[in-house]
Every structure is written in structure tokens, then in C-alpha cells.
């Protein structure tokens, strides 16, 4: 029959196992949320790209209208040239026509650039939407995976709790109160493995006497941090073999 220190070692193993399982359980919803966030971000990007394209098209249309009305203005001013009452008026009209022609050239350049950009952006739009859609379609699979793992973990947790209860029941009555008090305070942190002769929780060296007691699987606390300590499984095995 294993001594108290060996029982403590097994209890610590089970408690750490339970903590790991609970942590994994907690990570499930976080993973799902991250996935939803990614889908939402891509959908937003697709929508923003669509809006930007729509605005760009409107801006190009406005420039086309401005170009048309500037052309009309040039025609009107050209007609007015014939009716000019003075040289001054005539020259003023000529200067205006010159300016309007520059405006037309500028608008034409901007329209061409705008149309090119509309083409480039319109080509990218389906890619973005398809990417968002593809990611969204993965949602049920991810949900199913998480649910399956969740069921597995729940089962494993139930088993681990039963094992823990069974192992705790084998602790000698003499240590039960102390054990309960320490576990109530610190739960899985109430235990520490000894590496070499050092407590792995507080890095304090234990005495030779304490070490020998642990080799005999006696119930011992770290004199420095007060945790229930034990040697790794292999230490005891090597003593038994020798
Ligand atoms: Zn310690």
C-alpha cells in the first residue's frame, strides 16, 4: 500500500489534470468567439470595400456631369464671343474659355483614373466576399468539434473527480484535517514536487531528514512554503529497486 506522500503525489497529479481539463473547457468559447470575430471583421471589410466602391462610382459620375456642363459653358462662351461689345469683353471671354478647357482636361484625367480604380476595386470585391463566406461556412464544423471535445472533457472531468475522491479516501485519518485545511486554502497549489532536494514551488532545499522521510513516503510539508511535498515517481521506484 502506498504511503501518504505517494497518495499526495497522485492527488496532485489528478488535481493538475482537473485544472488542465477545466482550462481546456474555458478555451472552447474563446476559440469560437475568435472565429466569429474573424468572420465579422472580414464581412465588415467586404462591406466597407463595397461602400467605398459605390462612393467612388458616384464621384466619377459627378465628375462626368461637371465635365458635361463645362463643355456646355465653353460652347456658350464661344457663342458670346461673336456678340462681344468690346475687345476687353472679348479677351475676358477668351480667358474664361481657356480656363474652362483646363478644367475639362483635369476632369477627364480624374475620370479616367477613377474608372480604372473602379475596375480594380470591383475585381477585388468578390474575393473578399468569398473569403468571408468560406470562413463563415466553417462555423458549424468548429461548433461541432468544440461540442464533441466538450462532451469528452466533461466525461474526463467526471472520471477524474471520482478517482480523486477514491484516492483522497485512502489518506490516513491522522493527516486528513491538515490536508483538508491546506486544500481548502490553496487547492491544487497546496502541493509541490521535490526536484533533487529542492521544493519546486519555493525553491528551498529540504533537509536530509525530510528527504529521507519522503523516500519512506511519509506525509511531510515543505518547511519553507508549507506545501505538501512528495518525490517524483521515479525516486521511490529507484529506492525499491536498490
Ligand atoms: Zn516549498
CB atoms within 10 A of CB 76: 12
Domain 17-152 grouped into CATH 1.10.3300.10: no
* Residues 95-142: tens digit of each pLDDT: 999 999 999 999 999 999 999 999 999 999 999 999 999 999 999 999
Q: How far is the CA of 39 from the centre of ligand 1 (A)?
A: 47
What is the distance in A from the centroid of ligand 1 to the CA of 13? 17
CA of 221 to the centre of ligand 1 (A): 8
How far does the centroid of ligand 1 lie from the alpha carbon of residue 206, in Å?
8
Residues 190, 199: Cα–Cα separation, whole Å: 12
The rounded Å distance from CA 23 to ligand 1 centre is 25
State which residues have CB under 5 angstroms from ligand 1, the bound ion: 199, 201-202, 222, 224-225
Report residue 219: phi and psi, to 5°. -75, 115
CA distances from 71 to 57, 64, 67, 105 (A): 21, 11, 6, 11
22: CA distance to ligand 1 center in Å?
A: 25
Q: How far is CA 42 from CA 15, 45, 140, 141, in A?
A: 41, 5, 18, 19
Q: What is the distance in A from the centroid of ligand 1 to the CA of 198?
A: 8
- The Å distance, Cα 205 to ligand 1 centre, comes to 8
Q: What is the 242 CA–ligand 1 centroid distance (Å)?
A: 28
Distance separating alpha carbons of residues 133 and 156, to the nearest angstrom: 35
Q: Where are the domains of the chain?
A: 17-152, 172-241
Which residues, at least 6 apart from 111, have a Cβ–Cβ distance to it below 8 Å?
60, 63, 64, 67
What confidence score (pLDDT) does residue 203 get? 97
Q: Are 220 and 5 in contact (CB under 8 A)?
A: yes
How far, in Å, is the centroid of ligand 1 from the Cα of 168?
A: 22
- Average pLDDT of the chain is 94
CA of 195 to the centre of ligand 1 (A): 11
DSSP-based three-state secondary structure for 196 = coil
- How close is the Cα of 202 to the center of ligand 1, in Å? 4
pTM strictly above 0.85 = no
For the chain, how many residues are written?
242
Expressed in angstroms and rounded, the spacing between residue 185 Cα and the centre of ligand 1 is 15
Q: From ligand 1's centre to the CA of 128, what distance in Å?
A: 56
| pLDDT tens string 14-51 | 999 999 999 999 999 999 999 999 999 999 999 999 99
211-239 per-position pLDDT tens digit: 999 999 999 999 999 999 999 987 655 55
Whole-angstrom Cα distance, residue 133 to residue 40? Answer: 10
Residue 222 and residue 229 in contact, taking contact as beta carbons nearer than 8 Å: yes
Amino acid at each position: 500500500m502506498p504511503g501518504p506522500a505517494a497518495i499526495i503525489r497522485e492527488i496532485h497529479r489528478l488535481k493538475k489534470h482537473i485544472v488542465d481539463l477545466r482550462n481546456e473547457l474555458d478555451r472552447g468559447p474563446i476559440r469560437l468567439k475568435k472565429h466569429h470575430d474573424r468572420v465579422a471583421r472580414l464581412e465588415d471589410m467586404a462591406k466597407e470595400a463595397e461602400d467605398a466602391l459605390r462612393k467612388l462610382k458616384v464621384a466619377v459620375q459627378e465628375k462626368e456631369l461637371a465635365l458635361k456642363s463645362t463643355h456646355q459653358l465653353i460652347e456658350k462662351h464661344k457663342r458670346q464671343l461673336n456678340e462681344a461689345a468690346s475687345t476687353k469683353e472679348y479677351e475676358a471671354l477668351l480667358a474664361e474659355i481657356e480656363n474652362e478647357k483646363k478644367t475639362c482636361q483635369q476632369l477627364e484625367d480624374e475620370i479616367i483614373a477613377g474608372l480604372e480604380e473602379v475596375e480594380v476595386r470591383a475585381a477585388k470585391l468578390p474575393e473578399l466576399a468569398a473569403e468571408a463566406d468560406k470562413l463563415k461556412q466553417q462555423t458549424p464544423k468548429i461548433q461541432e468539434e468544440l461540442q464533441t471535445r466538450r462532451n469528452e472533457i466533461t466525461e474526463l472531468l467526471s472520471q477524474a473527480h471520482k478517482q480523486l475522491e477514491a484516492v483522497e479516501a485512502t489518506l490516513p485519518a491522522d493527516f486528513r484535517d491538515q490536508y483538508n485545511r491546506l486544500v481548502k486554502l490553496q487547492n491544487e497549489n497546496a502541493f509541490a514536487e521535490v526536484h533533487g532536494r529542492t521544493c519546486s514551488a519555493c525553491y528551498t532545499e529540504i533537509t536530509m531528514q525530510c528527504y529521507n522521510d519522503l523516500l519512506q513516503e511519509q506525509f511531510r510539508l515543505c518547511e519553507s512554503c508549507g506545501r505538501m511535498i512528495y518525490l517524483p515517481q521515479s525516486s521511490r521506484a529507484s529506492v525499491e529497486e536498490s
